[in-house]
Amino acid sequence: MRHGYHNLTNYRMLHIAKDSPFSEEYAQAKNTESFSCEVPSDWACQLDSTWRYLFPAKVNLPDQGWKIHLSSCPTEAQLLLDVVGGFLVKKRVAFKHLVSYGSFLRLNGKNANRSSSGKFITIYPGSVGDFLALLEELEGLLGNFHGPYVLSDIRYKEAPVFFRYGGFRYLLEEDGKGVSRLAIRRPDGSLTEDQRKPFFVLPDFVSVPFGIKKQVDARINPSDEFELLFSPYSILESLHFSNAGGVYRGVNLKTGCEIVAKEARSYAGYSSSDCDAVLRLRHERSMLIRLQGIEGIPSYYSYKTVCGHEFLVEEYCAGVTLQSWVASNYPFRLGEDDALRYSERALVIARQMLGLLDAVHGAGVALMDVNPKNFIVDKNLAVSLIDFEACSDIDGADSACLGMPGFSPLCKCANKERDEFGLACVLSYLFWPSWSSSFSPRSLYERLPLIDKHFPSSVKDMLEEQLSCMASRIFDSPFGLVPVGSEKIDSCSFAQRLAAGIAKSRRPDDSEGRLYPGDATQFLHGPLGRLDIETGAAGVALMLGRFGLDVSSDVEWITTKLLKSEISLHFHGLLRGTVGIASVFSQLGYCEKAIGLLPLSLPYGPSDDISIRSGIAGTVLSLLQINSDCGCPQVRKLLGESADFCEIPY
């Protein structure tokens, strides 16, 4: 079976922290004004970093049912909470709300999860009758409020009031890959996934109450209104989705010309508290019109508002992104002939990018987000430029905008300087694909000798000319990181410096439950993602221990976290399971602790997960390692049970 590539770029962007080289779970929600809602003293209140949960005394909620979501915009959020909070307190209805403006912007930003975005208040009715009555009353209360469409839900009428069927309490089950997911119960008591998708999903066992049947039917069986209003254009396929909206390839049915339609959702995709996707798209339209007539700029066709969403329609630029072109064509073996052939084509592209940026600047515009994904290269090496939502006046000074790490300066600078730095990074990337400038812009200089070694001198001359026009302060790193450089360094010294840098990042008292900061995907996997080999402390400890450093305190920290965990942790898999962590302990010489993490009998695991990462193959490898290091009847018993599980002789 073919598995689709799961791109986590948007997820990682969500966890970028200002003034830090590391991903942070709640990077964009700290140190911001809190929302307030007064409740009586007999109400229970629970708080986490995102939500505040409020329950009246002696409330008896079902585990699942029809629930209500209210959306808002930043300027109306506190007022909406005042109105709804007072109403729900009088009704003694349980609810939760976002804790702060920071969490509001994080859950409603451009790179936010589309399945959960838009939800400001969640209401838990005690019965279907209460649910229907609350919908109607809230519709009357909130008729003058505004908010984004909650994509996982159905809008009740005109107010920002939405609903869907799902869990009220956190009930977890494991999928076939050992990943915990939220679940609801079927009538027979079995668990099934509580699907939280960016579209409405009705569980097959749920009956729809008469009071919302019209809305549910309309959502499940949409009319052809969009096709009629979007004419003469027709959508052929989606190219990209974000919480701000989609990007689609289409065709003009009258002319046959291919088009791109960029969508903006109202009150969604915020880049700041006062700039949502619609404002950015309208700005992009004005900038695209301003740049018309420049070769390499797509033609502007139309701007439409359809079903509450706004669409910018422009010329489709055939080809691939520069990032994809480099990945497909770069001579990674760096043979002399291959490098020469590549440089000839790459220089054709580079000169077009230089000319294109000069022309854009000549029109008084700064792009503000120069990166390899915004240049399109066709089969004839012709270069086009796309994505103008970040554009600003050339004479401005570092307008607030979204930018790709590694291609945006790390200090405040003029808009022209920002573009020049971005282009220098892109040109350098074209000949030495690296994102190290995300942490130290000075790495652009350190790449020059490497590029000069493998490519013609004209390449280095071009890069040096681009770098020379920028102020030296742009190349300072706010993180205090210095690139290793191209000087000769023996592998032992390099490893020592690398290990010392990792050890320096140790955070035993981290508020987000990590010993070492790692990739943002560690936040996807719950507490075990901070502890396992794949993204957590065990993998780092194993590497440092193999290098010869004392990791006893790391082993103690991991053991304490495992023993204090209040939820059941996934056992199977070398990289994602607790058995993998046990194998780390055995390799590091902590046999007693390794055995202490093992159960007396093999836990039940998903029968279809045979992977090394999170399945039975990884479990067997881990147990074989522990048996080799420690030798223990308990381990051999678990290996025998693993063989039985796989139905192979042992």
Domains of the chain: which residue ranges? 32-220, 225-315, 331-475, 491-646
Q: Tell me the average pLDDT across 573-596.
A: 94
pLDDT in the model for residue 31: 47
Q: Which residue has the tokens 């969604």?
A: 268
Cα separation, 557 vs 580, in Å, equals 16
Cα separation, 511 vs 162, in Å, equals 34
Q: Please give the residue that has the higher pLDDT: either 164 or 22.
A: 164
What pLDDT band is residue 4 in, cutting at 50, 70 and 90? very low
**DSSP symbol at 279:** H
What pLDDT band is residue 177 in, cutting at 50, 70 and 90? low
Looking at every residue in the chain, the average pLDDT score rounds to: 89
Q: Please give the residue that has the higher pLDDT: either 315 or 547.
A: 315
pLDDT digits (tens, 9 = 90+) for 13-60: 767 776 677 877 765 445 468 999 999 999 999 888 789 999 999 888
pLDDT digits (tens, 9 = 90+) for 618-635: 999 999 999 999 988 999
**What is the architecture, at CATH level 2, of domain 225-315?**
2-Layer Sandwich (3.30)
Fold of the CATH domain 32-220: Phosphothreonine lyase fold (3.30.2430)
pLDDT in the model for residue 650: 47
pLDDT in the model for residue 303: 97
pLDDT in the model for residue 621: 95
Specify the CATH number for 331-475; select among 1.10.510.10, 3.40.50.2300, 1.10.240.10, 1.10.3720.10. Answer: 1.10.510.10
pLDDT in the model for residue 179: 63
End-to-end CA separation in angstroms for the chain: 29
Asked if residue 7 has pLDDT above 70, the reply is no
What pLDDT band is residue 293 in, cutting at 50, 70 and 90? very high
Indicate the burial class of 650 (C-beta count within 10 angstroms; 0-12, 13-18, 19 or more). Answer: exposed
Q: Which residue has the tokens 């898999």?
A: 573
Q: Tell me the average pLDDT across 136-143.
A: 97
> What DSSP element (H or E) covers 45?
strand 44-47
pLDDT in the model for residue 176: 61
Asked if residue 606 has pLDDT above 70, the reply is no
Asked if residue 646 has pLDDT above 80, the reply is no
Q: How many CB atoms lie within 10 A of CB 339?
A: 21
Tally helices (H) and strands (E) across the chain: 19, 20
Highest mean pLDDT among 5-9, 96-100, 447-451: 96-100
Asked if residue 1 has pLDDT above 50, the reply is no
Within a 13 Å sphere around the CA of 541, how many CA atoms are in the beta-carbon half?
31
Asked if residue 533 has pLDDT above 50, the reply is yes
In 3-state terms, what secondary structure has residue 108? coil
Cα angle, residue 243 at apex, residues 242 and 245 outer, rounded to 5°? 70
Q: Tell me the average pLDDT across 106-135.
A: 93
What pLDDT band is residue 216 in, cutting at 50, 70 and 90? very high
Lowest mean pLDDT among 308-312, 346-350, 434-438, 634-638: 434-438
pLDDT in the model for residue 487: 58
pLDDT in the model for residue 485: 60
Give the pairing type, strands 154-155 and 121-124: unpaired
pLDDT in the model for residue 19: 67
What pLDDT band is residue 376 in, cutting at 50, 70 and 90? very high
What pLDDT band is residue 171 in, cutting at 50, 70 and 90? confident
Asked if residue 468 has pLDDT above 70, the reply is yes
pLDDT digits (tens, 9 = 90+) for 388-406: 999 999 988 765 556 787 8
Nearest Cα residue to 103 out of 153, 142, 48 = 48
Q: Please give the residue that has the higher pLDDT: either 481 or 126.
A: 126
Give the list of residues 6+ apart from residue 21 with CB closer than 8 angstroms, or none.
438, 439, 479, 481
> What DSSP element (H or E) covers 366?
strand 365-366
Highest mean pLDDT among 190-204, 391-405, 561-575: 190-204
pLDDT in the model for residue 566: 67
**DSSP symbol at 229:** H
